[in-house]
Amino acid sequence: MKDRYTGIFRTGKKLKIAIAGVVLEGFMTGLNFPVLFNLLNSIFTDGIVFGDVLISVVYLTIIYVMRLILYSVSYTGSQTGGAEVTRGIRIAIGDKLKKIPLGIFTEKRTGFYINAATSETADYEQILTHKLADIIKYTVLTMILVIYTCTIHPGVGAILFVTLILLIPVMILSVKQVNHYGKAKNLAREENVSSITEYLTGSQTLRSYALAGTRNVSLTESMRKYSEISYRYEKAVLPIGFGYVYLVYIGIAVSLILMTNALRDQYITAPQLIIIMMLLLFVSKVEMSLYISLVAYRNLTISRKKIESIFEEKEEMTDGSELNPGSFDIEFKAVDFSYTEGEKVLAGMSFTIRENQLTAIVGESGSGKSTIFNLISKYYKPDHGTIRIGGTDIREISAEEVLRSISMVDQEVFLFDDTVMNNIRYARENASDAEVIRACKLANCHDFIMQMENGYDTVIGENGNRLSGGERQRLSIARAILRNSPIILLDEVTASLDIENELLVKRAIKNLLKTKRTVIMIAHTMSIVENADCILVVDQGKIAECGSHERLMRQNGKYAQMCRASRVLQG
Partner 1 sequence: MKKEKKGFSLLLEWADRNRLYILLSVILALVSSIGSIVPYLIFYKMIDALVSGMFDMQMAVRLAVILLVTMLIRVVCNMYASIASHKGAYNTLFRVRCMVTEHMSKMPLGALDERSTGEIKYVMNESIEKMELFLAHNLPELVLYASGPVIMFVFLMTVNTKLGLLSILPLLPAVVVMMLMFMRFGKYMDRVNASSGDLSGSVGEYVNGMRLIKAYNMSVRSFRKYSDAIDRQYDLWCDISKATGPLYASYIVLLECGILILVPAGGYLFVNGHITAGVLLLFAFIGTQYLSDIRPLQELSNNLAFVLNGVTQVKEILDTPIMEGSKPFPEKYDIGLQNVTFSYDGENNVLENTDLKIASGEKVAIIGASGAGKSTIIQLVSRFYDVGKGAVKIGGVDVKDIDYEDLLAHVSVVFQKSFLTRGSVYENIAMGMDVTMEDVRNAAKAAQIDDYIMSLPDGYDTLCGGYGSRFSGGQKQRICIARAILKDAPILLLDEATSAADPENQVEIDKAIDNLCRNKTVLIVAHRLDIVKKCDRIAVVEDRGISAIGSFDEMLQKSDYFANVWEQYKEARNTKYRLGGEV
Residues 102-131 that bind partner 1 (CB under 8 A): 102, 105, 110, 113-114, 117-118
| Nearest-angstrom CA–CA distance, 533 and 356 | 10
Q: Which of 1, 147, 172, 200 binds partner 1 (CB under 8 A)?
A: 200
Q: Does 9 bind partner 1 (CB under 8 A)?
A: no
Binding mask 271-300 for partner 1 (x = CB under 8 A): --xx--xx--xx-xx---------------
Residue 174 in contact with residue 243, Cβ under 8 Å? Answer: no
Residue list 386-405, contact with partner 1 (CB under 8 A): 399-400, 403-404
Distance of closest approach, residue 252 Cβ to partner 1, in angstroms: 7
Stretch that binds partner 1, among 136-144, 329-337, 382-390, 502-510 (CB under 8 A): 502-510
In whole angstroms, the minimum distance from the beta carbon of 72 to partner 1 comes to: 4
Q: How far apart are CA 83 and CA 11, in angstroms?
A: 11
Q: Does 30 bind partner 1 (CB under 8 A)?
A: no
Backbone phi and psi for residue 518, each to the nearest 5 degrees, phi listed first: -80, 115
Name the minimum Å distance from CB 140 to partner 1: 18
Residues near 432 by Cβ (< 8 Å), separated by ≥ 6? none
Of 527-546, binders to partner 1 (CB under 8 A) are 527-533
Contacts of 135 (CB under 8 A, 6+ apart): 290, 293, 294, 297
Residues 304-343 touching partner 1, rule: CB under 8 A, are 343
Q: How far apart are CA 84 and CA 81, in angstroms?
A: 5
Q: What residues from 140 to 169 belong to the interface with partner 1 (CB under 8 A)?
A: none
Q: Is 365 in the site for partner 1 (CB under 8 A)?
A: yes
**Facing residues of 352 across strands?**
331
Separation CA 552–CA 533 (nearest Å) = 12
Query: Which of residues 9, 31, 41, 90 is near partner 1 by CB under 8 A?
Result: 90
270 binds partner 1 (CB under 8 A): yes
Residue closer to partner 1 by CB (options 349, 509) is 509
Q: Which long-range contacts (CB under 8 A, 24 or more apart) does 103-109 make?
A: 103/374, 103/379, 103/380, 103/381, 104/313, 105/379
N residues, the chain: 571
Assess 172 for contact with partner 1 (CB under 8 A).
no
Give the span between the Cα atoms of 413 and 447, in whole angstroms: 19
Q: Which of residues 464-493 bind partner 1 (CB under 8 A)?
A: 468, 470, 493
Report the residue number, 144 or 292, with the smaller CB distance to partner 1.
Answer: 292
Query: Which residues ranging from 438 to 467 are in contact with partner 1 (CB under 8 A)?
Result: 462-463
Q: From 479, 460, 474, 463, select the one nearest 418 (Cα to Cα).
A: 460
Distance in Å, CB of 179 to partner 1, minimum:
19
